[in-house]
Amino acid sequence: MFDIRQYTDNDSDSTAWNDFVMRSKQGTFLFDRRYMDYHRDRFSDYSLLFYKKGKLYALLPANIDGDTLWSHQGLTYGGLITNTHATTAEVCTLFEELNAYLHDHGIRHVVYKAMPWIYQQLPAEEDLYAIFNRCQARLMVRNVSSTIEQAKALKWRRIRQFGADKAYKEGISVACDDNAYADFWQVLTENLQHTYHTRPVHTLAEISLLHGAFPDNIRLYVARLNDKVIGGTVLFITPQVVHAQYISATPEGKHLHAIDAIFRKVLTEDYRDCRYFDFGISNEDRGRYLNEGLIYQKEGFGGRAVCYDWYDWNVEG
| 269-292 tens-digit pLDDT | 999 999 999 999 999 999 999 999
The percentage of residues in the chain with a pLDDT greater than 90, rounded to a whole number, is 97
Q: With CA atoms as reference, report the closest residue to 45 among 18, 16, 69.
A: 69
Q: Give the mean model confidence (pLDDT) for residues 88-109.
A: 98
| 219-230 tens-digit pLDDT | 999 999 999 999
Residues of the chain with CATH 3.40.630.30: 3-135, 147-308
Q: Give the mean model confidence (pLDDT) for residues 64-81.
A: 96
| 3-45 tens-digit pLDDT | 999 999 999 999 999 999 999 999 999 999 999 999 888 999 9
Nearest 5°: phi and psi at 138? -120, 150
279 touches 244 (CB < 8 A) = yes
Give the span between the Cα atoms of 82 and 65, in whole angstroms: 25
Q: Give the mean model confidence (pLDDT) for residues 186-214.
A: 95
Beta-strand relationship, 44-45 and 48-52: unpaired
Average pLDDT, the chain: 97
Give the span between the Cα atoms of 228 and 271, in whole angstroms: 24
Give the count of beta carbons closer than 10 Å to the beta carbon of residue 8. Answer: 11
Give the count of beta carbons closer than 10 Å to the beta carbon of residue 268. Answer: 14
Helix (H/G/I), strand (E/B), else coil: 261: helix
CATH class (in words) of the domain with range 3-135: alpha beta
The pLDDT score that the predictor gives to residue 217 is: 98
The pLDDT score that the predictor gives to residue 316 is: 80
The pLDDT score that the predictor gives to residue 215 is: 98
The pLDDT score that the predictor gives to residue 15 is: 98
Asked whether the predicted pLDDT for residue 317 surpasses 70, the reply is no
Buried b (16+ CB within 10 A) or exposed e, 42-67: ebebbbbbbebeeebbbbbbbbbeee
The pLDDT score that the predictor gives to residue 238 is: 98
Q: pLDDT band for 195, please (50, 70, 90 cuts).
A: confident
Beta-strand relationship, 68-71 and 81-82: unpaired
**Domain 147-308 part of CATH 3.40.630.30:** yes
The pLDDT score that the predictor gives to residue 196 is: 87
Asked whether the predicted pLDDT for residue 127 surpasses 70, the reply is yes
The pLDDT score that the predictor gives to residue 200 is: 94
What percentage of the chain's residues is helix, strand, coil (to nearest 5)? Answer: 40, 30, 30
Q: pLDDT band for 307, please (50, 70, 90 cuts).
A: very high
